[in-house]
Homo-oligomer: A and B are copies of this chain.
Amino acid sequence: MPKKFSEAEKNRIQQKLLESGRSLVSRYGFKKTSVDELTKGAGIAAGTFYGFYQSKEELFFELVEVEENRIRTTLLEHAANRPVDKESFKLFLLESFQLMSNNPIIQQILLTESFEAILRKLPPERLERNYNEDQDILLPFIQKWQTAGVLTKKSSPELIVSMIRSLFLLSLHKREIGEAVYDDTLKLLITTMANGLFARD
């Protein structure tokens, strides 16, 4: 970093960059937003950017993660207020997908032609961190449904989380799945998966 910032300043700048990114992406999309505009929007020098992110892709991925965190919190709150039963598990999965599909920031970034490029430009440890966050937060939930006898104990909870996580990648392929059948296909996939995970022993 060209200049020494205190921890408090760093936090403030990072928040400003994220806000600037959120507003620019919502208005102009991902491709048309440059590092120059991001730093201008945040009121910092262009060179300062790289003290915080390796690339604009990394900042955009962080925007997705902020939304993901918000969605996780909502999901867990809702689930905490429901009984630990089959119906709640199905609702949990369907709601996850709905919240992801209807979030404007996530959709703006996911549906860009270059989401693959975003992912490829991320350092591997960034993807791993995302993976671990999903595991940390979802694992206790899956285990609770397993302990209550709602979900089968034959599959490891880690793999169940990994499976749920992988389904979200399908939202990148609306076109290949077929626009006309996309919603119904995903709904069937989610309810079939829930159905297949219920304990029958």
Contacts and interface: CB of A to CB of B under 8 A. Distances in A.
Interface of A: 113, 116, 119-120, 127-128, 131, 155, 158-160, 162-163, 165-166, 169-170, 173, 175-178, 181, 184-186, 188-189, 191-197
A54 B191 CA distance: 40
A99 to B, nearest CB: 19
Given A113-B116, A116-B116, A163 B189 contact: yes
Q: What are the 10 closest A-B residue pairs judged by CB atoms, nearest first? A: A196-B196, A195-B196, A192-B196, A162-B185, A166-B177, A169-B173, A163-B189, A116-B116, A162-B181, A159-B188
A176 B113 contact: no
7 contacts: A113-B120, A119-B176, A162-B184, A166-B189, A169-B169, A169-B176, A196-B196
B185 A159 contact: yes
A193 B189 contact: yes
Contacts of A119: 175-176
A146 to B, nearest CB: 14
Identical chains bound together, number: 2
A38 to B, nearest CB: 24
Nearest to A192: B196
A175 B131 CA distance: 11
Contacts of A185: 159, 162-163, 166
A98 B97 CA distance: 28
A155 B187 CA distance: 11
Nearest to A155: B188
